[in-house]
Structure 1
Amino acid sequence: MAEYDYDLFVIGAGSGGVRASRIAAAHGAKVAVAEEYRVGGTCVIRGCVPKKMLVYGAHFAEDIIDAKRFGWEIDGCRFNWSTLRDNVLNDVKRLEGLYNNTLTSHGVEVIHARAIVTGPHSVSLGKGQEVTAKYILIATGAWPQRPECEGAELGITSNEAFHLPEVPRRIVIAGGGYIANEFAGIFNQFGAEVTIANRGATILRGYDEQIRDRLLQISMTKGIQFIFNAPFEKVVKNGDGSLTVHAGGKTIETDCLLFATGRVPHTRGLGLETAGVELDDQGAIKVDEDSKSTCDSIYAVGDVTNRVQLTPVAIREGQAFADTVFGNKPWRVDYNCIPSAVFSHPPMAGVGMTEAQAKNKLGTVRTYTSDFRAMKNVLAGREERSLYKMVVDATTDQVVGIHMIGPDAPEILQVAAVAVKAGLTKQAFDDTVALHPSMAEELVLLK
């Protein structure tokens, strides 16, 4: 008889857990994955995928207005939130089914139950059943956190935002990161009065300063209000169901409060202490370069490790784990030069070092920018301007960072990220013939 029930038992069927399960099974391992909610995890069920669908829906608000300048006569047009909401949720259900099929078709056993670690090689399932595994992989992701203030339970998080019965007339969004700015753009386009209340002094800390300042400027022009240095003090529910938010010495009346104040690793109640798995001060599982925890038989990938909270990173970590442990093909994830995007209105994206980071690390840098109106915006009579920025090592001419804001910025940035990752020089961009007319051509015309 086998020493263990499974070669690998995965807790959490999100992006990282699904990839690790599938690849480990393809390498011949006997694999089971436990998921207490829905297969697909944060990205598919309550994160980047449904949110991107809302972003698409929100863009039509301006597209319909702009269409008149392009000769289209659109009368009697109105927005129906419930139609978009239900279509999005239905597509999420479809994707969940595809993820389930992917696992089962690769021979992975899917267990719809909560799993708790009871030792280095043992897991307890929801109904008291205990199973054993040679290796255990924790891929439970992260969870939205709420500020510790009176009445915080009256607010919602991004998890619940996809299920709202209607678009609120007024909404306060707490936070200044990508989730806050993305939902601000979405609800603003759907007609809500949006206020971002941030405890800090800036939005999107860590992004290039010029790019994030441009987003702030455009967002304010679109009618989004910002309150900075405003930590939450308390939230009070009024007799008519509305809320009064007390933050930074100010009071804000609203119909909905959305907390987008960060995400914390989802490790509470997992029983990791029974196996000697150490956590950091934020509850993240401490892992080495091979995603191994302080217990030799327990690994962790994705947001639960708090290394880089991005879906593509979790997928790569899951793949590297499975190839290394079960495929005899050891490799490690390279965390250098990871591109990222904010699907705001307009979107912004970046890869590599910001200007400030480059100056601190390299000393002497050159920057090139293009500040322009997209052709579509010109004809539409829209004053909104795009901004592209390239950061170059002045000593080697190597491009060390590209940052942009404007229509389709994430789509353009993905290809540009290859050039930055490959270490190409500014001269290589200059030597490339422009694709005209396009917004992307600005990257090879920077002077």
Structure 2
Amino acid sequence: MQNFDYIIIGSGQAGIPLAFSLSKEGTVAIIEKGFLGGTCVNNGCIPTKAYVASARRVWDAFHGDDLGVEIPEGTKANLKKIKERKDELVNESRSNIQRAIKKNEKITLYHGEAHFLSNYEVKVGDTILTAKKIFINVGARAVVPEEYREVPFYTNENILEITDIPQHLIIIGGSYIGLEFAQIFKRFGSEVTIIERNKQLINREDKTVTDVVAEIMKAEGVDVVFNAKNITIKENNKDGITLKIDTKELKGSHLLLAIGRCPNTDTLQLQNTTIKLDDKNYIKVDNYCQTNLEGIFAIGDCNGEGSFTHTSYNDFQIVEDFLFKKKQRKISDRITTYGLFIDPPLGRIGMTKKEAIEKGYEILVAYRPMTKVNRAKEKAEKQGFMEAIIDAKTNLFLGACILGVGGDEIINGITNLMYAKKPYTVLRDSVHIHPTVSELIPTMLENLKPSVK
């Protein structure tokens, strides 16, 4: 039995900063069954955004004429070199974490899968660890339905390891992950088809967003099949895979599953504890990430309170504040914000129009297409729009989205205003730099209109 003051299971974006914070107060054990750094470092943000950047360079090379630049033919994506660059970035992040842990005498790293023996006892390999405070940071993984398990398939993890560009990539799922990989590989040179069971892409978004995203995919040359309710694998051989969608057949060389995510809590043997899960196997937590057991916390994707690196890091901040500071940070204070990192990107904060109306708000909407933003026109990147949702009674932002050039960065200005709980008029009356995309947000806010349900 090894006794520690703290045990952290998983080395993701909540677990690692928490380990170094806790090490100032006592001894820390980190248990990691895979690579250090969690999803963000290994098969999430860092590697995929590296691929997005490479795909953008390919796009630039084929669109020189848009800006009067003649670029000789012959541009092609070299996936081996693209992967090498990605691996360098990933390995650098892993190595930095490894070195920092090694230098810290209060932190002990255990490699292996953690299993609970009881509420406060954890086994890894042949070693049993115990602590009065345990932090579960095991993350999530791609959902793989039973019908796909007998055929070769890729997820967001292993598709990042291939070195040959797929001839025809079929993607099951038209949401955030599927869309990013669709555009990436289309730009790399693949034929790409997205299979979506709903009548629109990214079903949680407003139709204004999904329609434009569909237009972007169409402009890229990505095929999308909607309302695909009945999907079966008809054939699988060396030539690839054949799907039957209702009565139609579709043949491809590679299959990517981007159907959704599920928590990795099933690996922990939580049946040996009294830790409570919800109906989707996420660990139930209170406003401070603490489970129903005192001293046991769930942080990051596995608690179901967020599925992003920024929410995972905020979980660390909440727990640190709860343990050592003023207990002022809470999950309920967090405003939902995220991005869709296609090109052009989507930046989203707060509610969609649909959510605001369903919650009974009387809303005003500001809207401006990128075709009426001079900076976007000058860049020859006119796809998309900006939109803000205002509470008609309080003049506060309920939400906003910017789908267009720079949208993933520009949205943070509205994020700051929402956290400050300031009315939209503060932004409307501000003076922005010219020429920029964001300077048209104040102009947009001068023309609020009631929402059409």
Normalising by structure 2, report the TM-score.
0.91
Give the alignment partner of residue 55 of structure 2, picking from 33, 58, 83: 58
How many Å apart are 1:230 and its aligned residue? 1.3
Question: How has the CA–CA distance of structure 1 residues 388 and 20 changed in structure 2, closer, same or farther, with 3 Å as cutoff?
Answer: same
Question: How has the CA–CA distance of structure 1 residues 187 and 375 changed in structure 2, closer, same or farther, with 3 Å as cutoff?
Answer: farther
Distance of 1:251 and 1:339 partners within structure 2: 38
Conserved 8 A contact 2:344-2:383: no
Query: What is the number of equivalent residue pairs in this alignment?
Result: 441
Instruction: List gaps (5 residues or longer) in structure 2.
Output: 448-453
Distance of 2:379 and 2:7 partners within structure 1: 55
1:197 alignment partner in structure 2 = 195
Distance of 2:432 and 2:303 partners within structure 1: 42
Q: Secondary structure at the match of 1:100?
A: helix
Deviations 1:306-340, CA, capped at 9 Å, x for gaps: 12111111111123223323x25423234542221
Conserved 8 A contact 2:171-2:255: yes
Give the alignment partner of residue 426 of structure 1, picking from 421, 424, 427: 424
User: Which of the pair has the greater relative contact order for Cα pairs under 8 Å at 6+ separation?
Assistant: 1
Question: How has the CA–CA distance of structure 1 residues 172 and 82 changed in structure 2, closer, same or farther, with 3 Å as cutoff?
Answer: same
How many Å apart are 1:349 and its aligned residue? 1.3
Distance of 1:305 and 1:232 partners within structure 2: 32
1:125 alignment partner in structure 2 = 124
Distance of 1:236 and 1:38 partners within structure 2: 36
Give the alignment partner of residue 406 of structure 1, picking from 392, 401, 404: 404
1:266 alignment partner in structure 2 = 264
Q: Secondary structure at the match of 2:211?
A: helix
Q: Which range moves more in the overlay, 109-118 or 80-89?
A: 109-118
How many Å apart are 1:381 and its aligned residue? 6.1
2:345 alignment partner in structure 1 = 347
Conserved 8 A contact 1:196-1:226: yes
Question: How has the CA–CA distance of structure 1 residues 102 and 237 changed in structure 2, closer, same or farther, with 3 Å as cutoff?
Answer: farther
Letter of the 1:426 partner, please give it.
Answer: Y
Distance of 1:289 and 1:380 partners within structure 2: 44
Q: Secondary structure at the match of 2:23?
A: helix
Distance of 2:22 and 2:380 partners within structure 1: 54
Distance of 1:377 and 1:223 partners within structure 2: 22
Letter of the 1:113 partner, please give it.
Answer: G
Normalising by structure 1, report the TM-score.
0.93
Matches within 5 A, 1:40-59: 40-59=37-56
How many Å apart are 1:195 and its aligned residue? 0.9
Question: How has the CA–CA distance of structure 1 residues 362 and 436 changed in structure 2, closer, same or farther, with 3 Å as cutoff?
Answer: farther
How many Å apart are 1:375 and its aligned residue? 4.9
How many Å apart are 1:248 and its aligned residue? 3.7
Give the alignment partner of residue 135 of structure 1, picking from 133, 138, 141: 133
Q: Secondary structure at the match of 2:387?
A: strand
2:28 alignment partner in structure 1 = 31
Give the alignment partner of residue 178 of structure 2, picking from 170, 177, 180: 180
Q: Secondary structure at the match of 1:123?
A: strand
Give the alignment partner of residue 395 of structure 2, picking from 397, 410, 413: 397
Deviations 1:70-110, CA, capped at 9 Å, x for gaps: 45443243321110011101210111011223334443222
1:388 alignment partner in structure 2 = 386
Deviations 1:216-273, CA, capped at 9 Å, x for gaps: 1221122111112214533244443310012344321000110001110101131212
Instruction: List gaps (5 residues or longer) in structure 1.
Output: none
Question: How has the CA–CA distance of structure 1 residues 363 and 378 changed in structure 2, closer, same or farther, with 3 Å as cutoff?
Answer: closer
Question: How has the CA–CA distance of structure 1 residues 116 and 62 changed in structure 2, closer, same or farther, with 3 Å as cutoff?
Answer: same
